[in-house]
Structure 1
Amino acid sequence: RHESRRIDRQLRGRCARQGDPGMSRFFVSLEDDLMRLFGSDRISGIMEKLGIQEGEVLEHRWLNRSIETAQRRVEQQNFSIRKRTLEYDDVMNKQREIIYGFRSQIVAAEQVREHLLDVVQDVIYGRAEDLGDDEESLEAFATWVNSQFPIGFHPDHAVQKEGRRAGVDAEATARAVVERVEKAYADKCALENPQQLNSMERFIMLNAVDTQWQEYLRNMDTLRQGVGLRAYGQRDPLVEYKNEAYTLFADLMDRIKGEIAGRIFRATTSPQAYQNFLGDLQRLHGQVRTQHADLAPLAGGHAAVGGGRGGGAGGAADAGAEAAMNAALAGARTVVRDAPKVGRNDPCPCGSGKKYKKCCGKDG
């Protein structure tokens, strides 16, 4: 309601009658905001023509109707403003539901290992979607894999398609990388403190969500403050806000998952456990083959539970992961589908109600 209407009702409630039969009488100055914005000049002109002195009381039903109309117009304008504000807030509310739901799953889960590996799989498969047949694309993918996971991936390890459609099988390559990463992470977890391991994994995920979400909120505030200027370009600010918010939120989810995937081999329950893990890699592989410059800082500074980030992870493959990769390379075949491809997070076609990656696609 408009401020003047609220004051009117408040005064009626506080007047001496206290609900007794009668009528309330209010005096409005032409200098009040309501009269100044609506009809003040017109009424002043009428007063001058009629020769009414300043301070004299004006009473007329037309004047009362004019004030009532002015109040109603302002209330309609305020309603439109509130409605517009709610439309902007709805965008953030839907995104909050997604983020808070994801975070609640992490907090409520007794073991977060499954959620952690799901995120790693999504990240690897997402990067593999950009994998092409050219050497530059393979080199870029191998560089990224080795910068995140110590599996010693080489462009020659990419799974090739067979038959007429020669080239790199991105899905099979991503699946082989996921297998090697899961094997390497299982070896690392075997050396960690079992009582603290689950807390460490939960901390990695929650910390990534919280830090990235806070940064995202700051970016959204900046967008909200400046999006109104799009109206000068004949664009609806609300539509522009929704489009950019969608793009920013998609980037947010990618950053969260990317940070989680990049920290699973950089965090440890104790420096000694990580030293043992590096020692096993050295014994299995003869020596640690450095794939990026972050390996040296990692050996000297490790991230313990609640300790934030450590250094980068070196790129070295263990014998078991190497054998699994070679087996995947030897046994890979191109699948000819009779039906549209089923996404990893889509419902399984068998009708079990589970995700495809948790059901029929679990072993594939």
Structure 2
Amino acid sequence: MLKKLLNAIFGSQNERDIKDIMPIVDKINALEPSVKRLSDDELKNKTVEFRERLSKGETLDDILPEAFACVREASIRTIGLRHFDVQLIGGVILHQGKIAEMRTGEGKTLVATLAAYLNALPAKGVHIVTVNDYLAKRDKEWMGVVYEKLGLTVGNVLHDIAHEEKVAAYNCDITYVTNNEIGFDYLRDNMVIDKSARVLRPLNYAIIDEVDSILIDEARTPLIISGATDEKTDKYYISDRIVPMLKGKKITESEEIQAKYDGVDLSKGYDYLVDEKHHSVVLTEQGVLKAEKILGIKNIYDDLQSEWVHHITQAIKAHELFRRDVEYVIKDGEVMIVDEFTGRLMPGRRWSDGLHQAVEAKENVKIANENQTLATITFQNFFRMYNKISGMTGTASTESAEFWEIYKLGVVEIPTNNAMIRADNADVIYRTEKEKDNAIVNEIDQSWRKGQPVLVGTRSIEKSEKLSSMLRKKGIPHQVLNAKYHELEANIIANAGTKSAVTIATNMAGRGTDIVLGAKDEAQNKEVKELGGLHIIGTERHESRRIDNQLRGRAGRQGDPGSSKFFLSMEDELMRLFGSDRMSSIMQRLGIKEGEDIQHPWISRAVEGAQKKVEGMNFDIRKQLIDYDNVMNKQREAIYRIRNQVLEGEDVTVTIEEMLDESVEEKIEMWACEKYAEQWDWTSIEAWLLRTFGIKYELANKDEINYLTPEALKEDVMQKVLEAYEKRKQELAGEPEIQRMILLHMIDSSWRDHLYELDHLKHAIGFRAYAQKDPKIEYQKESYALFESMMKRIRENTVEYIFKVQVVARPQPVFNVGSENAGDVTKNNPASVSRKETKKVTAADLNKIGRNDPCPCGSGKKYKKCCGQ
């Protein structure tokens, strides 16, 4: 109530933000005549002038009006587009480090040029981040001439370009790049063994296009660089063959509540239960016994090595919760994930934890080996490393609370240049999906017959193809845009506004491409406007209101006429899983007959309530993810900082000497802790010194042993260790980089093992709740203990290797040995060392062997118990 009163008196926060910016817009407009009089050379020289002024103490805010006026003029002279006042407002919002919410067709691509130019003036680099290579390439080619007119350099980073091209692109003033590519480049930069192999500069400023897609929709998908393990795939096929022998039951939330109330055991008579709402599967006691009988195992929980419970559960998930042509497609004999928000294929992406292999087994395609994580980061933590970020999208308001809480990004709604006149019709609801589909086809038929273009949004490939089949039977020509044909999406979407066009799009793939009525044909543009403009049909409500708004936003650009209408049924996933029982009973009481629809504010409110419920649930999941990832992020930053110090440092001997000191101190504390020196563990002290440093340790005067203190012993031992190290440095003088390479290898291999341990810890930590412990606090404590253990392992292995390596006459080069598709990159781990007392071990040896294989040093131990510790 108070908020409404304050808004009535002072205006909303959004209105106040816009009001504060209007004086800046007036200044920019006032400068237009004088900037217009500048010659091309004078316009370009303004960049030099701005940089000089910045070097003398002026700020970006001081020169903003002049800089924006210059960008507007450069745009007019190169691409013929003049920034509207609302676009100038958008540019200021981006510069302020906020999200500019602008309706579809309002020219976000052009808006970005303003903030990008201004923030590129300090010459620290600006990244304009897009969702795919097509948009990155298109926008760079389209807007690049504007920046070049002003004397700036523009680069474009695409997947699979040469290293030299990538370095050059990132060194430009402004770089267009996809979120996946820049994320992986950051991870790869922290895996190089030579600083010259890096491609990125420090992360300065990013403008994120489709910011809701990248920072919200993809926030739960971490970027992972991984390498294949030696795990066998038999257990996936076996688990898949077990599933048809088991009897399962799908349960709803209301069933579960009622069962608890009635004291009924829902698992009785079933081998597993499936909870669609929470996307989970659980084996019942009956199912466990049946699985044990099929496998011939006494207790599947005892067989930790094979993890049968885990594999069978994943196989059930693959069958019950992952549907072909909905969550994935089969293309060229591979299981390809379909992005649930855009409907695009995600080549190279794989579900983790064995789920992808379970789906491959289900579809009887070749199973790829499980991968071990080598490096990982979430988009949440990656983009928070920039000095400043901002974003653009047509739909951000519904997630404004999350943007602020996670990223400290405010959302400002920018007014449209022309008044929005699109007619958004009320939802129509049917009892069954069949009735709804028939109504949709009739609606499309009516629009098509009069020549009005129609864009139909579906939630899955399966639904789009079903609708396409119904339209073919009616003889209605149409285009289908989904993950199977995403290569054509820009062209299909660009023509979706032509007369009589009928376009079916999965989850509104093709974002980023304008739908112009009549496809720029003036006569047809007028005719289509008279027919009512583009008509949007939603075939069901998405679990996020924002995705529905994205679909609606395709119509009504720049004051064009248009309309939208959503068709729902009580059998839709959202309605079925979230409170459809009450809605269904309302429809029955109202006496709705087959084929009849209902439009009622109660139903509409109930649908919106269900969407808010799911949005809140997904926000909680993302918050939990970042809580856990923040722990790993601190450790990642620490290990990358150490790694970069090793790469950047001229000499690593200081680091090695510190490690030697820590190692000696730890061993003395461990073996010389008793009160009297004669009680100390002299056997372990002498054995360690001989084994690690080749030092035969003897006291100068054994009669003085009773007077010896741990401090004196440490000083004596440290002196001998440093003497041995000096001698070792002389032996390695011909290969000055060998110590650096050893240290990098030990950091990388230990970090890789640490990530593996954290993965297991994260999966198991939830059970601590049963012991009345907070899983997050437990995770923080245990992950810190694991981190300390890892740092100790790095130190001990580095010290040992430095004293035992034998220089290989010709170091082996490091090669990439796998693909670098989004989500699954394989890298060789660099090292070019061998154990001195046995055989030579090269980088290739270290990377080919499994953790359980015999160690190549010839010790007779397993690699993980020897050199791989």
Counterpart-to-counterpart distance in 1, 2:711 and 2:690: 18
Check conservation: 2:659, 2:799, Cα contact below 8 A: yes
Does the aligned pair in 1 maintain the 2:765–2:775 contact within 8 Å?
A: yes
Give the corresponding residue for 1:250.
788
Q: What corresponds to 1:195 in structure 2?
A: 734
User: Does structure 1 retain, via aligned residues, the 8 Å contact 2:643–2:747?
Assistant: yes
Specify the code of the residue in structure 1 equivalent to 2:621.
I
How far 1:156 sits from its partner (Å)?
Answer: 8.3
Deviation at 1:236, TM superposition (A): 2.0
User: SS of 1:255's equivalent?
Assistant: helix
Q: Is 1:148 matched up with 2:692? A: yes
Indicate if the aligned counterparts of 1:267 and 1:305 stay in contact, CA closer than 8 A: no
Could you tell me which residue of structure 2 aligns to residue 132 of structure 1? 673
Residue in structure 1 matched with residue 806 of structure 2 by the alignment = 268
Aligned to 1:232: 770
Q: Alpha-carbon deviation of 1:206?
A: 1.1
1:283-303 Cα offsets, whole Å, 9 max, x none, are xxxxxxxxxxxxxx9445366
Structure 1 residue 270: Cα displacement: 6.5
CA contact (8 A) 1:119 1:257 kept: yes
Equivalent position of 1:208 in the other structure:
746
SS in 1 for 2:737: helix
User: How far did residue 255 of structure 1 move?
Assistant: 0.4
1:90 equivalent in alignment to 2:634: no
* Alpha-carbon distance, 1:91 to partner: 0.8
Deviation (angstroms), 1:86: 0.5
Structure 2 CA distance for aligned equivalents of residues 57 and 241 of structure 1: 51
Deviation digits for residues 16-52 of structure 1 (CA, Å, limit 9, x no counterpart): 7875467643222111122112321112112223322
State the shift of 1:305 in Å: 9.7
**Kindly tell me: are residues 307 and 86 of structure 1, through their superposed partners in 2, closer, same or farther at Cα, counting changes over 3 Å?**
same
TM-superposed CA distance for 1:145, in Å, is: 2.5
Distance 2:704 2:769 in 1: 51
Structure 1 residues 217 and 68, CA gap change in structure 2 (3 angstroms): same
Q: Which amino acid aligns with 2:673?
A: G
Asked if residue 33 in structure 1 is aligned to residue 573 in structure 2, the reply is yes
Q: 1:219 maps to which residue?
A: 757
Structure 1 unmatched ranges of 5 or more: 272-296, 313-364
8 Å Cα contact 1:124-1:174 kept in structure 2: yes
Match in the other structure for 2:591: 51
**Residue type matched to 1:146 in 2?**
L
Higher normalized contact order (CA 8 Å, seq sep 6+, divided by chain length): 1
More strand per residue: 2
Asked if 1 retains the 8 angstrom alpha-carbon contact of 2:664 and 2:714, the reply is yes
Q: CA deviation at 1:310?
A: 5.9
The superposition leaves residues 216-265 of structure 1 with CA deviations (integer Å, 9 ceiling, x where unpaired) of 11111122222223233332221221111011000000000000111222
Q: Which amino acid aligns with 1:194?
A: A
Which whole-Å deviations, capped at 9, do the CAs of 1:122-149 have from their partners, x for residues lacking one? 1111222222226353333332222211
**Are the equivalent residues in 1 in contact too, given 2:838–2:857 (CA < 8 A)?**
no
Structure 2 CA distance for aligned equivalents of residues 270 and 30 of structure 1 = 71
The SS at the match of 1:251 is: helix
Residue 64, structure 1, aligned to residue 604, structure 2: yes
Q: In 2 relative to 1, CA 54–255 (structure 1 residues): closer, same or farther, beyond 3 Å? A: same
**How far off its partner does 1:154 sit?**
4.2
Contact 2:806-2:836 at 8 Å conserved across structures: no
TM-score of the aligned structures, taking structure 1 as reference length: 0.68
Which range is displaced more, 221-230 or 61-70? 221-230
Residue identity matched to 1:87: D
Task: Report the alpha carbon displacement of residue 193 of structure 1 after superposing the two structures with TM.
Answer: 5.2
Amino acid paired to 1:246: Y
Q: Cα–Cα, structure 1 residues 8 and 77, in superposed 2: closer, same or farther, change >3 Å?
A: same
Q: One-letter code of the match for 1:96?
A: R
Deviates more, 1:114-123 or 1:46-55: 46-55
**Structure 2 CA distance for aligned equivalents of residues 30 and 167 of structure 1:** 87
Q: Distance in 2 between matches of 1:40 and 1:179?
A: 77
Quick one: distance in 1 between partners of 2:693 and 2:625? Answer: 45
Partners of 1:38 and 1:12 in 2: how far apart?
23
User: Which range moves more in the overlay, 75-84 or 120-129?
Assistant: 120-129
- Partner in structure 2 of residue 42 of structure 1: 582
RMSD (CA atoms):
3.2
**Greater helix content:** 1
2:643 is aligned with what amino acid? R
The DSSP-based 3-state class of the residue aligned with 1:129 is helix
Change (3 A) 1:167 1:70: farther
| TM-score normalised per structure 2 | 0.30
User: Which position in structure 2 is the counterpart of 1:281?
Assistant: none
Identity rate of aligned residues, in percent?
Answer: 38
Deviation at 1:88, TM superposition (A): 0.8
| Structure 2 unaligned blocks of 5 or more | 1-398, 400-541, 810-834, 847-855, 860-869
2: CA distance, partners of 1:7 / 1:174: 66
For 1:45, the aligned partner's letter is S
Change (3 A) 1:54 1:40: farther
1:119 deviation in Å?
1.0
Task: For 2:556 and 2:710, locate their aligned partners in 1 and report how far apart those are by CA, in whole Å.
Answer: 82
8 Å contact kept, 1:158–1:173? no
* Equivalent residue pairs, number: 281
* Contact 2:555–2:562 (8 Å) recurs in 1: no
Contact 2:544 2:614 in 1 (8 A): no
Q: What is the CA–CA distance in structure 2 between the aligned matches of 1:304 and 1:50, rounded to whole Å?
A: 78
Please list the CA deviations of residues 159-191 of structure 1 after superposition, one character each: whole Å capped at 9, or x if unmatched: 979xxxx7752233122111101112212333x
Q: Give 3-state SS (helix, strand or coil) of 1:195's partner.
A: coil
Residues 234, 153 of structure 1: alpha-carbon distance in 2 compared, 3 angstrom cutoff: same
CA distance in 2, matches of 1:63, 1:217: 47
Going from structure 1 to structure 2, the CA distance change for 1:91 and 1:59 (only over 3 Å counts) comes to: same
Identify the residue that residue 645 of structure 2 maps to in structure 1. Answer: 105
The answer to whether the 8 A contact 1:267-1:310 is kept is no
Contact 2:747/2:794, CA 8 A, preserved across alignment: yes
Q: 1:18 to 1:9 in 2, by over 3 A?
A: farther
